[in-house]
Amino acid sequence: MTIPSSISVIIPTYGRCVQVQRALEALARQTLAPDRYEVIVSIDGSVDGTREMVAHFPAPYTLRAIWQPNRGRAAACNAGIRLATGEVLVILDDDMTPRPGLLVAHQQAHAGGSRRGVVGAVPIPIDPSSPPAAQYYGQKFNCHLEKLAQPGYHMGVKDFVSNNFSIRRDLLLEVGLFDEDFKIYGHEDSELALRLLRAGVQLVYSPEAVAEQAYTKDVAALARDHIAKGRTAVLFAIKHPSVIPDLRLGQYRRDSWKRRCLRIALLGLSRLWARMPEHVILVMMWVGRRRPARLPLYYALALDYFYWLGVQAALRENRAAGRKPASLAELVGLGASQA
């Protein structure tokens, strides 16, 4: 069985010098021989000292940095991929701390040259002292990893993440790199996963390829992420209308009437009062400090609101520019026409 001879690790980053250094230190402790892999730090416009830190980091492996003006994670990943020379590419987010066996696990997962993309485990360590937002997201994502690890589970577009992901370089070049139209948070992973699956690439989960995620985002950061995810969901849906029924965009009316009423009320108030999102964040911070039993539900409702706020913003921009779709009904109609 042929095992890939070389690996390129690509770390896209923006404004996280300390986290990148932690990742580089962990990569220096890999069980794979250091002459079998290289690390490329792709800096997306940040001027926080990451470039200088990488230049002076005493790595036992080949280490390079590439800098570009801020264009988003997809573009940063692509810049690193184009520079890579390894037979297998490992995309690793800058807040990951890879365990010593990570690269060997990814290497072995590609033995035999099969057409597969490998998603590694990214557990989020949490304990009672963790901030409430980190506990909420950590519990949710760790449950997602348990689902992926179930025997016989078939990974789909919505399951895919590329924060600890490997694929043969020639296979990714065949399918195409990340779509650089995705400049803000969200859905560049889903768009790539869709093209991989359509090209006959099998997406598999490797619980042995572990990189722990240091999750530090608070409620405000989660809110910003969900607004961005709403905006990029519209972009994803326009590019690939056939996926709309499977996205949250296409399931608006499947939610309970209570949830829809709350969403309509919050979105309506947001149109009348520009500071509404800011006050929802303040309320959630207040609730989080009290840690009520139903806190996960309150977080879910608030983040649902921020997601749809992003959807509305994207559709409003389409209307202003005279582009279609300009409403949720038109967007959902695109998906129905592709069914």
pLDDT digits (tens, 9 = 90+) for 263-319: 999 999 999 999 999 999 999 999 999 999 999 999 999 999 999 999 999 999 999
Whether 201 and 288 share a structural domain:
no
Write the DSSP assignment of 178-236 as a string of letters.
Answer: --TT--SSSSHHHHHHHHHHHTTPEEEEEEEEEEEE-----HHHHHHHHHHHHHHHHHH
pLDDT in tens, 133-181: 999 999 999 999 999 999 999 999 999 999 999 999 999 999 999 999 9
- Verify that 205 and 258 share a domain, yes or no: no
pLDDT tens per residue, range 103-121: 999 999 999 877 999 999 9
Whether residue 235 is found in the same domain as residue 149: no
Residue 232 sits in the same domain as residue 312 = yes
Q: Say yes or no to pLDDT of 337 above 70.
A: no
Where a domain ends, among 163, 179, 213?
213
Domain that holds residue 29: 7-213
The pLDDT value recorded for residue 161 is: 95
Looking at the fold, whether 227 and 208 belong to one and the same domain comes out as no
Assess if residue 2 is contained within a domain: no
Among 183, 213, 243, the domain boundary falls at 213
What's the whole-model pTM score?
A: 0.94
Environment class of residue 190 by beta-carbon count within 10 Å: exposed (0-12), middle (13-18) or buried (19+)?
Answer: buried
Residue 331 covered by a domain: yes
Q: Is residue 1 part of a domain?
A: no
For 252, list phi and psi in degrees, rounded to 5: -55, -45
Are 49 and 98 found together in one domain?
yes
Domain identity same for 148 and 46: yes
Q: Are 94 and 237 in the same domain? A: no
* For residue 335, pLDDT beyond 70: no
Least confident of 182-186, 253-257, 275-279: 253-257
Q: Is residue 274 part of a domain?
A: yes
Answer yes or no: is 310 within a domain: yes
| 175 and 233 part of one domain | no
pLDDT of residue 175: 97
Mean pLDDT on 245-254: 86
pLDDT at 339 over 60: no
Radius of gyration of the chain from Cα atoms?
A: 21
Both structure tokens of 43: 């800096």
